[in-house]
Amino acid sequence: MAAMTPDVVRGAVGAVGRTPLIQFEELSEFTKCRILGKAEFLNPGGSVKDRIAAALIADGEATGRLVPGGEIVEATAGNTGIGLAMAAAARGYRTAFTVPAGLAAEKVAYLRLLGAEVIEAPDVPFSDERHFYHAAARLAAERGAFHADQFRNLANRDAHYRTTGPELWRQTGGEISALVAAAGTGGTLAGTGRYLKEQAAGIKVVLADPIGSALYSYVKRGVLAADDHDYIAEGIGIGRLVPNFEGAPVDDALQVTDRALVETAYRVLRREGLLLGMSAALNVWAAARVALRLGPGHTVVTVLPDGGERYRSKLYDPAWLAARDLTPRFPDLLGLLAL
């Protein structure tokens, strides 16, 4: 058998990471800063969650909670499930995922194509035992399966400390003024932020939070409180403090409206040719706002968690947007960043 070379990897999991940084040309010129997005949609499973999938499985194996031929159960808004199903297929595990009602149909279809069992749970508050997180914990207990638990399992943020942070530091030559990103489990922001601050304490870590999530309030005032507002972004924002986010080195936070998310997605599509997912568009808007706040000459990095193909039935469907009064209006850049 031929020897492996640096350009050949073993299976899909071996291709995770080492994603490029993309400079947003129009926004960079407007803000007089470098605004860079980590293209996580180029991972083999199509999202940033590919990074944590192998780490969660390795944790299960190391602790004996995941045995050969066993089953992995997880609560997911789609992307973590896809990453886990991809990695599980390569290692001979079965997968079952609980998802919130109304999840993008493209994600559910992808999970099933990967051979996963998908169980839809009502879209209810976390305090309700029918919530998809609690449903996954019960299912794992009933079946004697491994509950990957991306919210509580610290293998999540450790994976970003070991991979995403070092990649960003190397790709920018250490020239980073701020890291700006949303949080769901908090693993990306916590792990990446911790690594970058260990390299240069002056780097600002800024949370981008959809209105309706409680994390903005927690960062700004130390209290978990959220407006009674439904937001369209999937997989980000949360109403509770989870272990992966707890202790994250976050310096500041800003809130992002659904309108800002939508307008940014369509602006980037038309001007940069990139079809971004919901959280990616939210992150880009927030990064540009932070760049304006910092002033010319800074480098602001963010994460592009997934691509827009997974939201064709939502973010890129005119009827879906119109029903929510979110049809794009295409404001100029000044108007966009004032949203």
Contact 177, 203 (CB under 8 A): yes
Residue 205 pLDDT class (50, 70, 90 cuts) = very high
How far apart (Å, rounded) are the C-alpha atoms in residues 216 and 39? 25
Show the tokens assigned to 55: 């780490």
Over the stretch 83-132, which tens digit does the pLDDT of each residue have? 999 999 999 999 999 999 999 999 999 999 999 999 999 999 999 999 99
Per-residue pLDDT for 55 more than 70?
Answer: yes
Read off the pLDDT of each residue in 51-80 and give the average, rounded to a whole number: 96
Contact 86, 53 (CB under 8 A): yes
Look-up of token digits 């390569």? 90
Show the tokens assigned to 79: 């992307």
- List active site positions: 49
Quick one: CA dihedral 99, 105, 107, 108, positive or negative? positive
Kindly tell me the burial class for residue 224, based on how many C-beta atoms sit within 10 Å of its own C-beta (0-12, 13-18, 19 or more): middle
Report the pLDDT value the prediction gives residue 227, as an integer from 0 to 100: 77
Residue 226 pLDDT class (50, 70, 90 cuts) = confident
Domain boundaries of the chain, sorted by first residue = 13-42+164-336, 50-147
Per-residue pLDDT for 4 more than 80?
Answer: no
Residue 252 pLDDT class (50, 70, 90 cuts) = very high
Where do the DSSP E strands lie in the chain? 21-23, 34-39, 71-75, 94-100, 117-121, 146-147, 178-181, 204-210, 252-256, 299-304
Intrachain domains 13-42+164-336 and 50-147 with the same fold: yes
Mean pLDDT of the chain: 96
Over the stretch 167-204, which tens digit does the pLDDT of each residue have? 999 999 999 999 999 999 999 999 999 999 999 999 99
Report the pLDDT value the prediction gives residue 18, as an integer from 0 to 100: 96
Cβ neighbours of residue 330 closer than 8 Å, sequence gap 6 or more = 263, 266, 267, 270
Largest Cα separation within the chain, whole Å, is: 60
Q: Is 13-42+164-336 a CATH 3.40.50.150 domain? A: no
The larger pLDDT score, comparing residue 84 to residue 226, is at: 84
Show the tokens assigned to 241: 């403090």
Per-residue pLDDT for 215 more than 90?
Answer: yes
Over the stretch 126-163, which tens digit does the pLDDT of each residue have? 999 999 999 999 999 999 999 999 999 999 999 999 99
Residues found in the chain: 339
How far apart (Å, rounded) are the C-alpha atoms in residues 209 and 239? 11
Read off the pLDDT of each residue in 54-66 and give the average, rounded to a whole number: 96
Provide CATH code, domain 50-147. Answer: 3.40.50.1100
Residue 196's alpha-carbon distances to 1, 166, 173, in angstroms, are 40, 8, 12
Over the stretch 320-331, which tens digit does the pLDDT of each residue have? 999 999 999 999
* Strand, coil or helix: 301: strand
Percent of the chain whose predicted confidence (pLDDT) is above 70: 99
